[in-house]
Chains A and B, each alone.
Chain A
Amino acid sequence: MNNERNYNREFSNIDVDTFSKKCIEGSRSSSKAKRKEKMKKQRMVKKLKALAVTCVLAGGLSVMGINSLINTVQNNISINDARSDFQMEVVRDNTHRTQDNEGYWYDYSNICSLMEDRIENGADQSTEIYLLTDNMGEKQADKVLAYYNGGTSVDEFISERGLTQDRWESIEKDKIITSSELNSKQSELNKMMSETNSQVNSQQADLGRGIN
């Protein structure tokens, strides 16, 4: 309930009547984007949350569901971020067009090597294999894993852990969400510490001036 109250307070500026009117009024405009703009992920997350709340209210749904909806939105964003980071860091530069331009080929060895680097730098092995499979499909992921740790296939990797594919995917998604929450808490903590340090430095400077 506390979270519910917090969300209600955070999004108290949302006016559904005005929103509905603005959606049906106005003139037509070009479907071509005027320009592109860079946006921080956190700002996009905030906008998606606020849009979700607006849509809950505009859709006539109960506000009691907002808390769980916001959590779902946040979780989906975390999972999509992890997928996108993996794609950018591991797969993208190792994906090439075939000569006839009709398909793609992958540099499996390089993909494996970049994935191993991430694991050596602290990424969870099972989560990395989940992201690999999600990104390339199981057949292609098997070809990458042929270069990894004795050549276990995705199926073998899952069954060695006594899991079904669905259960494994669910566990990996939970791990991504938890890791994202921890990172977010860590950055909040870092921000708080940095603010405290600057306050202390400022007080020490004031004291120094007092002594002189």
Chain B
Amino acid sequence: MIDVDVYEIDGKEYLLIKTIKAYGETYLYLSNEKTEDDFIIRKIDKANSDFIIPLDSEEEVKKAALIFINKQLED
């Protein structure tokens, strides 16, 4: 068994699957607590690290997705 952090985002609970720091951002890859294939990516707010915020654009989603793949391949 492993310990996983649970975050509340927009009223739903998400499990933290992976955290990756890249290109000056800290991306959080989260999975819906109840639905196995429901994921979201968030990032730490650089202006206030007490908060996590949505990504800026679809381009950034693509970038964060590729960062995850790259990390999986290089680990």
Interface readout for B20-46 with A: 1 if CB under 8 Å, 0 if not? 000000000101010011011110110
Residue A205 interfacial (CB < 8 Å): no
Residue A196 interfacial (CB < 8 Å): no
Can you add 13 more A-B contacts, CB < 8 Å, to A31-B44, A48-B18, A50-B39? A19-B39, A23-B41, A24-B55, A24-B57, A28-B51, A29-B42, A35-B6, A36-B6, A38-B3, A39-B4, A44-B4, A52-B72, A54-B37
**B interface vs A, CB < 8 Å?**
1-10, 13, 15-18, 29, 31, 33, 36-37, 39-42, 44-45, 49-58, 60-62, 64-66, 68-69, 72-73, 75
**A interface vs B, CB < 8 Å?**
11, 13-14, 19-20, 22-41, 44, 46-48, 50-52, 54-56, 58-61, 69, 72-73, 76, 80
Q: Which 4 A-B pairs have the closest CB atoms?
A: A33-B5, A55-B65, A59-B65, A58-B65
A-B contact pairs, 13 of them (CB 8 A): A13-B37, A24-B54, A24-B57, A30-B52, A31-B44, A31-B51, A41-B1, A44-B2, A46-B36, A51-B18, A51-B68, A54-B65, A61-B69
